[in-house]
Chains A and B, each alone.
Chain A
């Protein structure tokens, strides 16, 4: 019985130059490694548009989606990516895991390894948790977001989407708007964009974009009006105004006044400017509903590309882990 189209196996992306069993962050990656993932993702993207959306690259491998912090989008994306590579997938969330019973992260992970999990995709509220596991386990560890530290696959899908639409990343003016301080997406995006040669401007309240970010080699603007006319890409982050944010800015209303991408502001965007958002979006807060659904929005393309990027990451890291062993 044929479970997959054998042809794509022959044109699977080159993995000879990839040597990492884990993907923990973008900061430690070389530009060539980022480009390798993006090229692999481009190859895998064609798989999803086929009639039979599956290749046998990871047949017989087990991937554990270990989500200690809740997520729908990223978890589903990794799960689908694994399915399309023919891996077996197990989902573990905080509420169903022994972490609830007081087991430590280390012990839970060692148990997963004892069950021969080849790949562990980890989402965790603590920065550094994926590195902690990577140093202790033979399994491939893929960081699906650790605290406010990094969310590497999101950054990769962001630059993939930019490159796909604008042909390049180098030299582009990219603005990241919103709650930068608590955003792992912002940090990974900054590293990826800087390494690929973009000019990055962070936009947000001074409490959420502290001066220390300038040391990462980015510009900081205090009003969205300062960047709407010149930006090639605007990446809007979800803004929260829950209990823990009350001391950072007074109200969502005031936030929108200075930082919301309203219809009036969007009218000043360059026609070629991409409007991005990692989701989930707050319609009418960081972005007006019509802009989110408008022609410059690539928000749903980002989701589609996320699948291809995650296929590439799973494939490359899993292959490297095999070489290491």
Chain B
């Protein structure tokens, strides 16, 4: 049914639009003219009407790990978090490293996804960092980027050739930045708390060294390289300098890296175990500064569901990762917009719409005439408490249970259809 979203504050960064107005949806697209005939009216007074948000970094766990999450449950969580589109990672079982697995995913998405899902493909076969995956075939099957996320190509020559090859398809390369030798068996930030707790350290330098590698390769090949889930202040500095020189690199921030520090690990609660790890206060400050000055331009969740029994083990034996889709917008609003005022609401929306759409070349992230009617309605002032038992995810691995947050999505619309509302 056609839609009128009335009296909302429409923020559409593509057109520098920020005004209270009505938004029209006709035949699943944004329209400059009101629908003719019967239509649904949504009252959005005191609410923000934004282009549907895009999460550039989620793990939907299918195929092969449906005890953690499915495309169905993961996209329900996305809708509840205010995301009309997600970009899913290829470290499934089997890994998404071939056109047939990508086709399996897109078929499954058609059957049961509540929001748009854009798959990525592996950089290397089996995510093993050695042999280039069939990138061209996967592009034809529908991938929007390549990444070995969860893994990191260690061989610079292999990475260089993949980056060079991806340029032929105007494809972004996204990288999980981790030097394996330096990290070894590291399970938390190397610093005071790893010293006290006797847990093996994962030093900042092991991320920064790969960020530096990626900057050099982006410069060499001219391909867009996106550094995922940055955790270290040093990475921000490298990225800032590189971007000032016009190198096509981008960086991504996840909410847990600014909401928490390594001190939380002293509880040995495995919901504080993620990769890269929670770092020190000075990193948190540098990351927020990086968002404020534009060194970091993308926000993502690294939504990484794991079953309860998998996480309820000794800290060093637990898998890395936490849920994110249902808390990320609220955490970023709370920390970046309300508490530190590092950015305003318009910038936050830009980082969740225009910037990811530009990176992976999606015709999304705007409310211009004729655009897909993906809309997120946000109440930026709403104070609420996150309860993990209310999550739509199949898993419950979140450290944010009981957190009091300010701001959240209250309605998510995909192609003109409300897929979730508060």
Contact = CB atoms under 8 A, between A and B. Distances in A.
Interface of A: 27, 104-106, 124, 126-129, 131-132, 146-150, 184, 187, 210, 212-213, 215-216
Interface stretch (B165-173, B194-202, B221-229, B231-239): B194-202
Interchain residue pairs A-B with the least CB separation, the first 8: A148-B198, A128-B268, A126-B314, A149-B198, A212-B195, A127-B198, A215-B192, A128-B315
A246 B195 CA distance: 20
Nearest to A181: B195
Contact of B195 (A104, A146, A150, A210): A210
A212 B203 CA distance: 12
Contacts of B42: none
A148 B314 CA distance: 14
A174 B268 CA distance: 30
Contacts of A124: 314
A187 B197 CA distance: 9
Given A126-B317, A128-B197, A149-B199, 4 more contacts: A126-B315, A128-B315, A146-B198, A148-B199
A213 B80 CA distance: 44
A39 B362 CA distance: 71
14 contacts: A105-B313, A106-B312, A126-B314, A126-B317, A128-B316, A132-B268, A132-B314, A147-B199, A148-B198, A148-B199, A149-B199, A212-B194, A213-B195, A216-B192
Interface of B: 190-192, 194-199, 268, 309, 312-317
B273 to A, nearest CB: 11
A247 to B, nearest CB: 9
A66 B350 CA distance: 55
A215 B191 CA distance: 10
A27 B196 contact: yes
A212 B198 contact: no
Contact of A187 (B198, B312, B314, B316): B198
A131 B192 contact: no
A150 B196 CA distance: 9
B319 to A, nearest CB: 14
Contacts of B199: 127-128, 147-149
A212 B315 contact: no
A150 B198 contact: yes
B195 A216 contact: yes
A215 B198 CA distance: 14
Contacts of A184: 198
Contacts of B314: 105, 124, 126, 128-129, 132
A210 B196 CA distance: 12
A149 B197 contact: yes
Nearest to A182: B198
B195 to A, nearest CB: 4
A212 B316 CA distance: 20
B316 A127 contact: yes
Contacts of A216: 192, 195-196
Contacts of B268: 127-128, 131-132
A217 to B, nearest CB: 11
Contacts of A213: 195
B287 to A, nearest CB: 21
Contacts of A27: 196
Contacts of B192: 212, 215-216
Contacts of B313: 104-106, 132
A184 B198 CA distance: 7
A147 B196 contact: no
Contacts of A146: 198
A149 B312 CA distance: 19
Nearest to B313: A104
Contacts of B316: 126-128, 147
A105 B317 CA distance: 11
A27 to B, nearest CB: 7
Contacts of B194: 212
A128 B194 CA distance: 12
Contact of A212 (B191, B309, B312, B317): B191
A148 to B, nearest CB: 3
A117 to B, nearest CB: 19
A124 B314 CA distance: 10
A149 B313 CA distance: 17
A323 B317 CA distance: 34
A215 B194 CA distance: 12
A146 B196 CA distance: 12
Nearest to A107: B309
A282 to B, nearest CB: 22
Contacts of B191: 212
Contacts of B195: 210, 212-213, 215-216
A216 B191 CA distance: 11
B312 A127 contact: no
A27 B196 CA distance: 9
A187 B196 contact: yes
B201 to A, nearest CB: 8
Contacts of A150: 198
Contacts of B196: 27, 187, 216
A174 B198 CA distance: 21
Contacts of A187: 196, 198
A128 B268 CA distance: 6
A321 B316 CA distance: 28
A147 B195 CA distance: 12
A103 B312 CA distance: 13
A128 B195 CA distance: 13
A298 to B, nearest CB: 26
Which among A106, A127, A184, A215 has the greatest number of chain B C-beta atoms within 10 A? A127
A45 B134 CA distance: 71
A15 B137 CA distance: 72
Nearest to A106: B312
Contacts of B312: 104, 106
A59 B316 CA distance: 37
Contact of A127 (B190, B309, B315): B315
Nearest to A212: B195
Nearest to B309: A104
A124 B191 CA distance: 23
Contacts of A106: 312-313
A147 to B, nearest CB: 5
A131 B265 CA distance: 12
A97 to B, nearest CB: 15
Nearest to A136: B312
A215 B263 CA distance: 14
A132 B197 CA distance: 14
Contacts of A210: 195
Contacts of A149: 197-199
Contacts of A132: 268, 313-315
Nearest to B310: A104
